[in-house]
Amino acid sequence: MASRMALHPHDVTLRCLSPPLAAPRRRRRAAVRVLAVASTPSTVSAKVESKTFSPPREVHVQVTHSMPPQKIEIFKSLDDWARDNILTHLKPVEKCWQPQDFLPEPSSDGFHDEVKELRERAKEIPDDYFVCLVGDMITEEALPTYQTMLNTLDGVRDETGASPTAWAVWTRAWTAEENRHGDLLNKYLYLTGRVDMRQIEKTIQYLIGSGMDPRTENNPYLGFIYTSFQERATFISHGNTARHAKDYGDLKLAQICGIIASDEKRHETAYTKIVEKLFEIDPDGTVLALADMMKKKISMPAHLMFDGQDDKLFDHFSMVAQRLGVYTARDYADILEFLVNRWKVADLTGLSGEGQKAQDYLCTLASRIRKLDERAQSRAKKGGTMPFSWVYGREVQL
Ligand SMILES: [Fe+2]
Ligand SMILES: [Fe+2]
């Protein structure tokens, strides 16, 4: 995952998260204030106001530790299984690609020529594509947030930072593989000369400072469903930026996006395998967890992004991605349908009454989302432009 996106571009939840457009300026100087209202020991409703670091955001009710403690044992007992079945999806470092494999070699005499060629190719690419690529890169660059998220999960977290459990080894090595994605896109974009790196760097700093609100409740059932969804979403979106780059005639950029997409696919395989195992061991608990995540909607990891100027930056970025077909509402429904089929949700038997309800809900959800989206698309106002600070304030069609 580390990457990208994954939310329904027209997600209403996100709109609720966004602050009012014209946030009073004085709040920008306000000290960080966290208003927390404890309802039960495990739920806290929090409103985080921190204009100093990012716009005020209304986060969801913060539910913690929703998995019954006895289920932690399931994950402990799966450690050997994860070693044999999940760590095998990692690549040895010596066999991994590195960003430098796809970038001009700075020690070479041909460096300046290579950079010149890269910049010539980038000239053919329109701003709206760069907005998508920058949004993807920023999402990848917020990797500290995603490693933190994985380490919130009960039963699988890296307890020490160097824990030898298979779960912890996976999380560290996954993070290390993901780290190459932001590095490669960042260096490539810097060399193009087409984007405002300072604005982009500010957006990354704001985003890491804001974190994310995936609503996974320290619960590895929810957490691994979320990461399965995310890895597939990033596989799709990087695959689409690769195809577009090819259309613009930039085969090197297509290769960059494609190689990142192939990592995401490998990570998707690993995370979906974990959830498949959970379906095997605990079908009722897992189907309820999947329905719960889908009812809450899968939010994109970068949904709290801000560049110091546009309080609805994520919405605007999502609209451009939707229009270009880099990541669309249709993709959201397709991913859900893919996962429901991958985990054979329709074939589950022996479920409780609640479990059967969740099963029915999930098996028809993708088609309902598609219908809603078609209606929303036909009602949506087309056109309109928005200045993006990432491309020096140039107007980009939404
Ligand atoms: Fe990823
Ligand atoms: Fe990634």
Ligand 1 centre to CA of 2 (Å) is 4
> For the chain, what percent of residues have pLDDT higher than 70?
85
Find tokens 């979403």 and name the residue.
233
The two tokens of residue 72 are 């932690």
Question: Residue 396: beta bridge partners?
Answer: 386
Give Cβ neighbours of residue 375 (< 8 Å, ≥ 6 apart).
Answer: none
Ligand 2 centre to CA of 140 (Å) is 5
Q: Is 114 labelled a binding residue?
A: no
Ligand 2 centre to CA of 2 (Å) is 5
Q: What is the mean pLDDT of residues 66-79?
A: 96
Chain centroid offset of residue 305 CA: 12
Q: What would the pLDDT profile of 371-381 be if each residue is shown by its tens digit?
A: 988 888 777 76
Question: Vertex 383, ends 378 and 389: CA angle to 5°?
Answer: 130
Cα(58)–Cα(295) distance, rounded to whole angstroms? Answer: 19
Q: What would the pLDDT profile of 121-137 be if each residue is shown by its tens digit?
A: 999 999 999 999 999 99
Q: Is 117 labelled a binding residue?
A: no
Q: What would the pLDDT profile of 98-118 be if each residue is shown by its tens digit?
A: 999 999 999 999 999 999 999
Q: Is 238 labelled a binding residue?
A: no
Q: What is the mean pLDDT of residues 157-184?
A: 98
Cα(369)–Cα(207) distance, rounded to whole angstroms? Answer: 29
Ligand 1 centre to CA of 3 (Å) is 5
Q: Is 181 labelled a binding residue?
A: yes
Ligand 2 centre to CA of 236 (Å) is 11
Helix (H/G/I), strand (E/B), else coil: 348: coil
Q: Is 267 labelled a binding residue?
A: yes
Q: What is the mean pLDDT of residues 140-160?
A: 98
Contacts 24+ apart (CB under 8 A), 26-32: 27/51, 27/56, 28/52
Chain centroid offset of residue 298 CA: 9
Q: Would you name the residues annotated as active-site residues?
A: 97, 140, 178, 181, 231, 234, 263-264, 267
Cα(246)–Cα(332) distance, rounded to whole angstroms? Answer: 24
Q: What share of the chain is helix, strand, coil (3-state, %, to 5)?
A: 60, 5, 30
Residue with more model confidence, 44 or 283 = 283
Cα(315)–Cα(17) distance, rounded to whole angstroms? Answer: 11
